[in-house]
Amino acid sequence: MSRKKIALIGGGQIGGNLALIAAQKELGDIVISDIPKAEGMIKGKALDLMQLRPHDGYDVNIEGSSDPAIISGADVVIITAGVPRKPGMDREDLLGINLKIIKDVANNVKTHAPEAFVIVISNPLDAMVYAFYKLSGFPKNQVVGMAGALDSARFRTFIAMETGFSVQDVTCMVLGGHGDSMVPLTRLAAVGGIPVSELIPEERLNAIVERVRFAGGEIVKLFGNGSAYYAPAQSAIEMAESYLRDKKRVIPCASYCEGEFGVDGYFIGVPSVIGSGGVERILEFTLTEEEKAELNATLEKVKKTVAETGL
């Protein structure tokens, strides 16, 4: 069996960590594509990563180039091309600049990797994944946005920090757009199957939900120049792995909805089954009236940003 090929478009902070984790999981050969100005940086990162392999014996090849053809025949494409936030910026402030970049990237992926399962990470996520879908003309199951996996990981982290219990036993789900109006579902959060409402007082839980909503911004503020990269990279790799190994994991992802949860014609965070068919299913379930109202509010924000793409 020949090795799978993973193409990373954008070899910056998240891109570098995607390459590292994909190599450590031996998901396949890795290519990093970036603009000519960044060619030295990605070639250097690729070589550095090649030299990390002997210790644990990861037999994968890692290569970087500014020639877009390097992604040819990729099984998975992960897009981080774009600019990250600076303090004081919302993800939506990146729309103009990142939309131009996604247009260029969609062309390249369509030309060189038309069969790939595409995971978009660039922000504002819900609009960028929509733009990629429209511009590439790819089927809906072949395109997905990484947001809910990260937002849920943040929720799990804060609950583990609050209770002191293993993060491994915390389960959480965050639905909706990848912005401050996201919907962390406290009703479904649990530690070892025990509802968190039994373990954490209500006001503490509310504070955690608020922290989850602004968790990306908290890191942007601390960095002063850029946004989070370790957890975003790990979150996207979980999705790529589920596709490549047909694991059929249930992960909240920005998937294209056609009626699910009352959303029609938009990408928004919903529980999605990822397997060899890409986004194989969206798992719809009954929301409370309050949750429905919150989902509608986040959908309105997503619609507004999507409208600004003009697509």
Contacts with ligand APR, 153-192, as mask; x by CB under 6 A: ----------------------------------------
Q: How far is the CB of 158 from ligand APR (least distance, A)?
A: 20
What tokens appear for 115 in the block? 């069969």
Q: Does 105 bind ligand APR (CB under 6 A)?
A: yes
Interface map 37-66 toward ligand APR (x if CB under 6 A) = -x----------------------------
Listed ranges 98-106, 168-176, 286-294, 296-304: which one lies at the site for ligand APR (CB under 6 A): 98-106
Cα separation of 35 and 43, whole Å? 12
- What is the closest distance, in whole angstroms, from the C-beta atom of residue 20 to ligand APR in the complex? 13
Q: What residues contact 293, with CB distance under 8 A and at least 6 apart?
A: none
148 touching ligand APR, by CB under 6 A: no
Q: Should residue 28 be labelled a site residue for ligand APR when binding is judged by CB under 6 A?
A: no
Please, which residue, 35 or 287, has the CB nearer to ligand APR?
35
Q: Which amino acid would we find at residue 228?
A: A
- Give the residue, chosen from 118, 121, 182, 208, that forms a contact with ligand APR under the rule CB under 6 A: 121
Pick one of 3, 26, 63, 83: the residue that binds ligand APR (CB under 6 A): 83
- Joined tokens for residue 229: 């990269």
Between 37 and 55, CB nearer to ligand APR: 37
Nearest to 295 by CA among 271, 276, 277, 278: 271
Active-site residue, from 154, 178, 213, 301 = 178
Minimum gap (Å) between residue 16 Cβ and ligand APR: 8
* Strand ranges inside 187-263, DSSP E: 190-191, 194-195, 249-258
Going by the DSSP 8-state scheme, the letter that residue 200 receives in this structure is: S
Stretch that binds ligand APR, among 97-105, 153-161, 186-194, 261-269 (CB under 6 A): 97-105
Confirm if 196 and 159 have CB atoms less than 8 A apart. yes
Number of chain residues interacting with ligand APR (CB under 6 A) = 29
Contact by Cβ (8 Å): 211, 191: no
Query: Is 136 near ligand APR (CB under 6 A)?
Result: no
Tokens encoding 140: 């809906």
User: Is 178 among the residues known to form the active site?
Assistant: yes
Please choose, from the candidates 201, 208, 172, the residue with its C-alpha nearest in 3D space to the C-alpha of residue 189.
172
Strands, E assignment, 107-193: 117-120, 143-145, 170-171, 174-175, 183-184, 190-191
CA 179 to chain centre: 13
Q: Are strands 249-258 and 194-195 parallel, antiparallel or unpaired?
A: unpaired
As a whole number of angstroms, the distance between CA 287 and CA 16 comes to 38
Q: Does 251 bind ligand APR (CB under 6 A)?
A: no
Active site residues per annotation = 178
Give residues in contact with ligand APR (CB under 6 A): 9-15, 33-35, 38, 80-85, 94, 98, 101, 104-105, 121-123, 226-227, 229, 232
